[in-house]
Chains A and B, each alone.
Chain A
Amino acid sequence: MSDRAPTTWPDVRLVAAREAGEKLRSKGFILSTLLFLALVGASVALPALLIDDGPPEYDVAAVGSSAAQLLAAVPEESLDLTVREVPDAAAADRLLRDESVDAAVEVRGERLVLAGVQGVPDDLSAGLAGAAQLAGLQTALAGAGLAADEVQRLLATPEVEERLLDDGALDESVVPALSLAFALLFFFVVYQFGFSIAQGVVQEKESRIVELLVTAVPVRTLLYGKVLGNGGLALVQVVLLVLVALAGAALTGSGELTEALLGNAGWFVLFFVLGFAMLSCLWAAAGAFASRNEDLQSTTAPLQVLVIVPFFAAGYVSEGLLRTVLSYVPFTSPLIMPARLLEEDAAAWEAAVSALVLLLAAAVAVRIGERLYVSSLLRTRGKTSLADAWSGRVGAGA
């Protein structure tokens, strides 16, 4: 429009409140949020509750009594074996074939033969070798005239006590999982709300209410209101998810995890807000390019790439220089920098620099998205091409 009216905060707030309000009224949105929360809660709490720390369990066939004796000597704390004694190797093979046992053991003189269908579990073969060694030693020591309790004392496993230099640090195995969780969270929330912004825009075009809206307020007001309303809800959802994760971590007694999460929550939220701001105006433009809901898949395709590729990059590039570089690149930094902070791989100043780069990129993306949105919003026939939208060579149909 030639005469530009100023975009005022009360109008933006009004549009944002409608966006958020209508979403909160939608049963689908509430249900999917609850489901998401339950999923995150479960994925934090369940592993701790379900992980079985007991020894590995196997069904093993023993060929002959010598093998059975050997298996009986395997200490229960290293392998939990269910033994079936069979008369010969052929009988053992039958059990293997019909998957009644995981392996079969046969003693041939000095040698121990471990039979499997295509392979045998490593811990089983290691455990059996250890047991055979122990049995040999026992026999030798007893043959040398040592008393049974003496033999027992000599062969007992000494108790090992741990003394850790870095006791408070986060368990190394938890960090990659947590990084992945951050990346997933960002990916899902940006995708979900971004797509919903695009859908909202095309719905306004399709229902033609956009013609009423633009006579009331400047087009920019609609864009900012949409982005703020959806962004605000997305942020609330993220905060809820982080809270659920924290609660889950605290309940299952992962004190260090809780601490690490709390310490970096501020950074995560900052990167989330900037990353979302950068992409959301582009999502709105992608929505404005379409004039029907069916066009959305194709007009949002470039954005889907911009969300999915960084997600996989963050997942696959888990170390090295490339990862450091990616933690400064706007599209991947919201995914990678918080994870690097969590690993104590990046200092606060690095995060600040990365956030600044992201802020600048967001400012540019918002301008681009705004220009495309403004020039394509009132085009209600067919898809708008990028070049036409950029040059403003579009107008409404007759």
Chain B
Amino acid sequence: MLELVEVSKSYGSRRAVDGVSFAVPPGSLTGFVGANGAGKTTTMRVVLGIVAADGGTVTWRGAPMDAVARRRTGYMPEERGLYPRMTVRRQLVYLARLHGASPAAGRARADELLERLDLGARADDQVDALSLGNQQRAQIAAALVHDPDLLLLDEPFSGLDPVAVDRLTELLRDVAAGGVPVLFSSHQLELVERLCDRVVVLAAGRVVAAGEVEALRQERSRGRLRLVVDGDAGWVRDVPAVRSADVDGPTAVVETDEPQALLQEALRRGAVHEFSPLRPTLAELYREVRA
């Protein structure tokens, strides 16, 4: 488990990261969501020791994150970087060895990843000869080539075509299933919703929501539900337990803390065609917590 407690970092007078605390448990995909400049990249850089925090702690498996742990971490930086003039395979093997893998293990893992990412045919091309999408795949392979114990990916999906998105999704799920905590940032909220078990939402350097995606949606639904009856549903406005209602003919979207009372009232009045809780999508939730 990776754990951040009250991590802060300022640049001059600007607080880039302001008392950030969250955990990334093993075996889960955790989405890291926030606007540009919310502090996602700085937070990742603090975890990796590229930036020194002003305060707070980062612990890995219960002990302070140190160089040994960082060496076992896989990282994909926001601003992509590989040696432009080195071939993809040699580069991956080099990075694997730099992270402590044996030459044989590095080669085997590099070839496996290149195959899985559909990059096998370009393995002996220089990085600067690859298309941007392929460079992106090579960058993903670079983060994974030493079989990391912890994986941090900054916008890994941006710039990938749908097929590559599926490949990466599959790959990340496999990595997480192996017990590796995976934290990745993304702007694609539907993707995060589909892929992640957990999410951390950052706004202006602070955590505004964190936890399991389902629990968050539940928590934020605030008793909103949708009711479809025969005839006009205008009567719902007069039910005492209903806080607010938006009625359109037979359909009403209401907020209530006593759904059972509302359902009984509806059934007393006639047929009920639909009675379903309305959970916000991650995108709605995100807009809400940022407001």
Contact = CB atoms under 8 A, between A and B. Distances in A.
A398 B41 contact: yes
A207 B73 contact: no
B67 A5 contact: yes
A94 interface: no
Nearest to B97: A14
Contacts of B217: none
B75 A18 contact: no
Interface string A193-229: 0000000000110011111111111100000000000
B159 interface: no
A378 B77 CA distance: 13
Contacts of B77: 208, 211-212
A1 interface: yes
Nearest to B17: A398
B61 interface: no
A358 B52 CA distance: 36
Contacts of B41: 398
A398 B37 CA distance: 8
Interface stretch (B42-50, B196-204, B257-265, B272-280): B42-50
B69 to A, nearest CB: 10
A22 interface: yes
B211 to A, nearest CB: 26
Contacts of A217: 71, 98
B80 A215 contact: no
A11 interface: yes
Interface string B52-93: 100000000000101110110101010111111110000000
B95 interface: yes
A213 B50 contact: no
A395 interface: yes
B97 A1 contact: no
Interface in A238-256: none
A110 interface: no
Given A208-B79, A398-B11, A214 B50 contact: yes
A44 to B, nearest CB: 34
A139 B274 CA distance: 143
A217 B37 CA distance: 28
A4 interface: yes
A213 B98 contact: yes
A207 B50 contact: no
B72 to A, nearest CB: 10
Contacts of A1: 49, 52, 67
A135 to B, nearest CB: 75
B249 to A, nearest CB: 51
B107 interface: no
A292 B152 CA distance: 26
Given A11-B98, A212-B142, A3 B67 contact: yes
A173 interface: no
Contact of B98 (A204, A211, A216, A395): A216
A198 B66 CA distance: 29
Contacts of B81: 204, 207-212
A15 B85 CA distance: 16
B71 A216 contact: yes
Nearest to A11: B98
B73 A215 contact: yes
A395 B99 contact: no
A298 B277 CA distance: 65
A398 B50 contact: no
A212 B75 contact: yes
B286 interface: no
A396 interface: yes
B271 interface: no
Contacts of B75: 211-212, 215
Contacts of B142: 212
Given A215-B50, A215-B70, A216-B71, A398 B80 contact: no
B184 interface: no
A2 interface: yes
Given A207-B82, A218-B67, A378 B50 contact: yes
Nearest to A1: B49
A213 B49 CA distance: 12
A396 B98 contact: no
Given A2-B52, A3-B66, A398-B41, A215 B11 contact: no
A270 B73 CA distance: 42
Nearest to A397: B11
B16 interface: yes
B289 interface: no
- Among B49, B64, B75, which residue has the most Cβ atoms of chain A within 10 A? B49
B32 interface: no
B157 interface: no
Interface string A1-39: 111110000010011001000100010000000000000
Nearest to B154: A211
B129 interface: no
Contacts of A22: 83, 85-86
Nearest to A5: B67
Contacts of B84: 203, 207
B237 to A, nearest CB: 49
A216 B52 contact: no
Nearest to B103: A14
29 contacts: A3-B64, A3-B67, A5-B68, A11-B98, A15-B98, A18-B94, A22-B83, A204-B83, A207-B82, A207-B84, A208-B77, A208-B79, A209-B81, A209-B82, A211-B45, A211-B48, A211-B77, A212-B82, A214-B49, A215-B49, A215-B73, A216-B70, A216-B99, A395-B11, A395-B52, A396-B51, A398-B11, A398-B16, A398-B41
Given A14-B97, A214-B49, A217-B71, 14 more contacts: A1-B52, A1-B67, A5-B66, A14-B98, A26-B85, A208-B79, A209-B83, A211-B75, A212-B95, A215-B49, A215-B50, A215-B71, A217-B98, A378-B50
